[in-house]
Structure 1
């Protein structure tokens, strides 16, 4: 038999099922998966190893020849905990800064680009993550059915992505450290800007979206000047932006390094830390979710380079990356991570631990401790869900929508899996991603006869809403229930289920008001309007201020009480004096609430 013919046939088949694309650093070759071109493991940065550990990411070295991109890259180093946080596996490789692309067409450069940032508490997770027996973020179905370019990116995690330490500051021209993971995300977005047209993507229709810590990262990127003009839409799923003060991150970093070494100078300590393996660096990590409580062990910091302020202050100032925004959460976020058995006493103790005494009657009414373990668990999940997700989602939606003219769209995901064994979990944390990516049909408990019409309806609706939004900044389209634009005064949203409902306004309002009151939260005022909202009784001078601000009444000074809040809504102090001293407070924006008799006025002040 002639052995040449079979070899030629195999060569022909391999060539017709592959595709080469030129990028700025070299040519890559992917594969054809059905009708979708698939490129897995494209390097967007030089491996951050050896001396590049804890350094800003650098562009990859140009390569010659053709680089095969047919397999996911290694996950970034992590201690990967199971859902309950009871067991874990240390895994990963520092050479992990890669992205993946799925595209239905390589030549027509008009397709929206959807860039996904995975979650995992900023300390675990990957683009190849398996949940429910399927690769949850596999982009083939979304690209094919949505006629969109799908990109998933990886970024450094845990201590490798977020360590702040004085021994690293001396290596940086700005004398700061940390935020390496954020810089990874920004470099990936720059790569996408420079190359995505070669994959059929429109550089003017780039949407970033993420869930959990990925959603935190999306929200944070809205506030980074380094991310300006790198995307035109954003979607935050089950999260709200969070950034630490630099001193907080620095103290956490010092404590972390001191668990490994206390010998020598700060520079010596970092040299020692670079001698350790990545496995050693993540070995002592704790679970990001424990007992239903979200633990953010690693966060970016305000370094005046990547971030200039905490998110609430940045939104309130009006100085942020203003783009159309989708934001939402799920109805039973913490059902999987809550304790398996919850008693009425556990609910009572939880309320007593997080609700101020004066608000306990209200909390007891909204979240009864229950007559049995079943009803107790429902309240327990409700408390954890609303205090950590429902309330923070409303705060972010209100603050962003009040400070930009670009539209904001809020959703509430309430669909339950149709498999009876999963229905008690409700709409749990991360569940919506199966439907956004159209991969529930590939899951162990969602495939074949277990995939019902309701599942397909939710998949179809979420894909359409998300792709429409990526394409135009508006999720609405033909055949879809109308999704109302968000307004802080009405709090209208779309409920995502088998038959979406866009007629509802006021999402769990009493419960969300409770959690706002529990932290003395004051909603953002609008930077689009006049700074002061006190057309009756007072003038505030000077504004901006250095240390002292004067409250100048237009009438009597009797019975005046002034409360001062930061932009997270936390009350800082109350005074009856007309001159307030801010010398002990950092620069930023503060809200004054001035009460006199039955009159309340508010004003925004800026400390230089």
Structure 2
């Protein structure tokens, strides 16, 4: 894969010009070895190139087969130096998910796949999944670099940090930061709520076990990151899609308080938690699918712990949504309802979304939606836009189409479909979170909103600015993501220009708690009167209340957090 020999960009907050990075960086032998000490024992990583040391698969928690449906525990200490130069196992995935979540593909196969796609997830699935990865410019040098702690997407059901897309080498070098990415329990393993079905059996925290994994990982950062040249008092959590939703949830969790100091959410919000009643109903379906009788509490708990990982994965399918539960323990309140999380009003926050979220979220699996006509559009919206309706207010599809055609006269029928589904499904949660932060006088002075309008070059721009496109820009990994940004030299050059801007903004936020940089126009904090929003494009600009007509119109329908 060709790269420019030297990438030039303003590296904010003290970092200077980017240095050459070899095109085959990730394929180079992982040597020479580097060793760091953690509270559980020493780990051996590798020199990733350009002065960056990398560690993959550092254990931060015990094998969750031993803590199934319970809060995690720290790992057992080891005496020999532990090898940490390859991806460790990822969490068990939901059966029937997208293929890239279920099996690894070769990088060559993934790169040559047609259409918009992410680099493949890597590593086997296992309940022994509590591992994190670290990239750092310096070990034990006392420089106290900001920590950029990334939480992967895939809703609460799938995904992993084990992918070239999340390699932290370039980000760590560009920004003089320590990058940490993390795996944790997902789907029923992380969020099935058995506290009421099987009381007294140690499952009190089962509805938020996956979130408590993240808390344990942040505690690991607090206790160990100085060894890796990081500052435990400047930890920025950021995440895309489900990762952003996990960030929002952590903001409302007392066990997480004090463990992070900035939040950046990328196309991922969590306004509400799951109510215990609904969570209990879904857990009951899971038990039924396993053939277990909840009336015999002790025996059901014993059999639940004895089930294989594959049996639980199979039983999870069809049981419904599993996500953070408002359990009165580690999540006592809804994250952003009726207000912003009061635990986190003093924490700076950036909220972002992409302009065309559902071109991938929905269109990625339904190619016919790109060929809609005005005659077939109404039926497609009736099926694909459920958030236009509620028990109290529903917006007629013909009226919705008429408004969107009036407001966007150049749109095709497919353009209208993706705009309506993006605005009603994916964008509403961010609007609510931003409004509630802006309504809080303690939070408003450090709340910013952006919208990514820059279009992917894949398929001649067919995908617009879709869900996930900000990931390679944030990690400065556009050359590793041709299926997301485009393969031609022109595509790659444009993508690198955008990555310089986006990654620079993320780095500035990690360093100072303010995302403004010299590459951006002056970016005001968000307010409900003007709604200033950074439009990420070439060049970037500030726009007040983008899609304001759509926001007001769709806001007539009460928002329902998917799955809750």
Flag the structure with more relative contact order, 1 or 2, with Cα contacts below 8 A and sequence separation at least 6: 2
* Cα displacement (A) at 1:168: 4.4
* Distance in 1 (alpha carbons) for counterparts of 2:376 and 2:335: 34
1:500 is aligned to 2:540: yes
CA distance in 2, matches of 1:197, 1:296: 41
2:306 aligned to which of 272, 275, 279: 275
Q: Is 1:518 the counterpart of 2:518 in the alignment?
A: no
Change (3 A) 1:191 1:513: same
Structure 2: gaps (5+ residues) = 1-27, 105-123
Residue in structure 1 matching 2:90, options 51, 54, 75: 75
1:365 aligns with 2:412: no
Query: 2-side partners of 1:141 and 1:510: how far apart?
Result: 40
1:47 corresponds to 2:63:
yes
Larger mean CA deviation between 296-305 and 14-23 belongs to 14-23
Taking structure 2 as the reference length, what is the TM-score of the superposition?
Answer: 0.81
1:310 aligns with 2:334: yes
Aligned residue number for residue 475 of structure 2:
437
State the shift of 1:490 in Å. 1.2
Give per-residue Cα distances to partners, 1:353-400, cap 9 Å, x unaligned.
534456656523333499xxx922111111111112222211101102
Of residues 512, 537, 545, the one that matches 1:472 is 512
Quick one: structure 1 residues 168 and 96, their matched pair in 2 at CA, closer, same or farther if it must change by over 3 Å? farther
2:151 paired residue number: 117
User: Secondary structure, in 3 states, of the residue corresponding to 1:367?
Assistant: helix
* Local SS of the residue matching 1:206: strand
The answer (yes or no) to whether the contact 1:362–1:514 under 8 Å persists in 2 is no
**1:503-540 CA distance string (max 9 Å, x none):** x1012111112221011x6xxxxxxxxxxxxxxxxxxx
Distance 1:492 1:302 in 2: 32
Alignment of 1:99 onto 2:129: no
CA pair 88-69 structure 1, distance change in 2 beyond 3 A:
closer
Query: How far, CA to CA, are the matches of 1:177 and 1:396 in structure 2?
Result: 26
Return the alpha-carbon distance in structure 2 between the equivalents of residues 187 and 414 of structure 1.
Answer: 36
C-alpha change, 1:317 and 1:451, in structure 2 (3 Å) is: closer
- Counterpart CA distance in 2 for 1:236 and 1:397 is 11
Q: Tell me the distance in 1 between the aligned counterparts of 2:135 and 2:68.
A: 30
Aligned 1:319-398 pairs, distance under 5 A:
319-320=343-344, 322-336=346-360, 337-338=362-363, 339-342=366-369, 343=372, 344-349=374-379, 351-352=381-382, 354-355=388-389, 356-357=393-394, 362-368=399-405, 375-398=412-435
2: CA distance, partners of 1:65 / 1:505: 57
1:167 shift after superposition = 4.8
Task: Quote the Cα distance in structure 1 between the aligned partners of 2:253 and 2:312.
Answer: 28
Bigger drift between 35-44 and 444-453 goes to 444-453
Q: Does the 8 Å contact 2:335/2:341 carry over to 1?
A: no
The aligned runs of 1:485-564 (5 Å cut-off) are: 485-502=525-542, 504-519=543-558
State the alpha-carbon separation in 2 of the partners of residues 358 and 444 from structure 1.
Answer: 39
2:290 to 260, 276, 289: 260
Q: Does 1:140 align with 2:154?
A: no
CA distance in 2, matches of 1:46, 1:415: 42
Aligned match of 2:32:
17
Q: CA deviation at 1:153?
A: 0.6
SS at match of 2:138: coil
User: Is it true that 1:412 corresponds to 2:443 in the alignment?
Assistant: no
Q: In the superposition, relative to structure 1, how do residues 54 and 38 fare at CA in structure 2: closer, same or farther (>3 Å)?
A: same
The answer as to whether partners of 2:238 and 2:244 remain within 8 angstroms in 1 is yes
Q: Distance in 2 between matches of 1:258 and 1:111?
A: 50
Q: Secondary structure at the match of 2:42?
A: strand
Offset, 1:86: 11
The C-alpha deviation readout for 1:126-155, integer Å capped at 9, x for no partner, is 1113xxxxx111111111112110000111
CA contact (8 A) 2:58 2:133 kept: yes
| Structure (1/2) with the larger helix percentage | 2
Distance 1:513 1:64 in 2: 61
Q: Distance in 2 between matches of 1:246 and 1:236?
A: 26
CA distance in 1, matches of 2:381, 2:134: 46
Q: Show the 5 A alignment for 1:152-301.
A: 152-165=181-194, 166-172=196-202, 175=204, 177-241=206-270, 242-263=272-293, 265-283=296-314, 297-301=321-325
Larger strand fraction of residues: 1
Aligned-residue CA RMSD in angstroms?
Answer: 3.0
Question: Equivalents in 1 of 2:426, 2:29: separation in Å?
Answer: 48
Q: 1:517 to 1:345 in 2, by over 3 A?
A: same
Q: Alpha carbons of 1:24 and 1:145: their partners in 2 closer, same or farther (altered >3 Å)?
A: same
8 Å Cα contact 1:118-1:210 kept in structure 2: yes
Deviation at 1:43, TM superposition (A): 0.4
Distance in 2 (alpha carbons) for counterparts of 1:454 and 1:430:
17
Tell whether the 8 Å contact from 2:190 to 2:206 is kept in structure 1 after alignment: no
Report how many residues are paired: 493
